[in-house]
Structure formats: structure tokens, C-alpha cells
Amino acid sequence: MKIFIGLGNPGKQYEKTRHNIGFEAIDFLADKWNIPLDQAKHKGIYGTGVIKGEKVLLLKPLTYMNLSGESIAAVLNFYKADVSDIVILYDDLDLPVGKIRLRQKGSAGGHNGIKSTIAHVGTQEFNRIRIGIGRPVGRIPVVDYVLGRFSQEDWTDLIKVIEKIAAACEDWIEKPFLKVMNDFNQ
């Protein structure tokens, strides 16, 4: 089984914010793969399906960003899945809007959702797709920036990025993550 996890915060007030780009990517995959996110368990909302002959699970933790690892660990434990079976999609301040970076391991880099994941799964070695949201300009506090919404221009660019992420996710179903990483980090 391949498990795709998008990080974000639940609730209308967080929809389409920079910090919720992981949720947006999972929603895109759910629509593309016709997998309804209609199951609530493991402190999240999720759906399962079969893509290219492989069982897949799409998960949006509902624990709020800072506790994302609780939901991820619960899913891994329930399905007896290995941490190598997951890819986490999340926002990254250090990448410009419109850029993605695939990695197999690394520190949290100040991202509380990834800090929580590392704490709950017990390793920094898991697949991830970092989605660039850029850094705030001027004196905008980081918390206000990540909880703010994208400009219309940025949102147009992000739709293309999410399509690219979906292609990377589809490739991972059939190929080793390292190969996908090399192909999409060009």
C-alpha cells in the first residue's frame, strides 16, 4: 500500500491558505483518482482505492498541523505499514512559490507538522514532497503569512505545481521514490 498524506489545518478559516497546500494536493489526487475522502478515523479523514494495481490511501490529518504525527502514526499502526510506504506533502517557506522538492529524509526545518511526524514515527527517513510557498516580504510575521491566502497569480502557478505533484505521486506507485525524486527534482 502507498499512503499519501497532505498536511494542513481543518476548518473553513484555513481553506486555501499557504499552510494548507498539502490538503489541496490531497484533494486534487482524490478528484483525479476518484477516491472519496469519506472515512473518518485515525484522527483524520481519508479514502482508499486502487491505482495502477496498487492499493493507495489518501490522508488529511485533522489534528491541526502541530499534531499531524498522531494521525500519521495511527494510520501506520492500523495498516501495519512501513514508514517507507508514505509520502508527505507539505508547505515549505524555503522554496519559492511554484517549486517543489522531493526528499527521502531530512530534518523538520522548523516545520511543526514534520516535527510532530518525526516524533511520532521515530525517524527522519520518510518520503516527502515539499511545496514552495515562499517567504513573507517586509515585516509580515511568519505565522500570519503561512495562514494567509495565496494571490490569484500564485494560485494559478500552484495549480500547475499540484498537477506536477500528482504526476510524481503516480510515478511513485510504479517506481522507487529515488527514481521519482531524480526525475522531478530536475
User: Rounded to whole angstroms, how far apart are CA atoms 150 and 107?
Assistant: 26
Q: Record the cell numbers describing residue 138, joined without a space.
A: 517586509
User: Rounded to whole angstroms, how far apart are CA atoms 79 and 17?
Assistant: 30
Note if 19 is an active site residue.
Answer: yes
Instruction: Evaluate whether 106 touches 135 at the Cβ level (below 8 Å).
Output: no
Please name which of 35, 40, 25 lies closest in space to residue 57, comparing C-alpha atoms: 35
**Cβ partners under 8 Å of residue 163, min gap 6:** 28
Instruction: Evaluate whether 2 touches 85 at the Cβ level (below 8 Å).
Output: yes
Give 16-63 as a DSSP string. Answer: TBGGGHHHHHHHHHHHHHT----EEETTEEEEEEEETTEEEEEEEE-S
Return the SS3 of 64: coil
Active site residues: 19
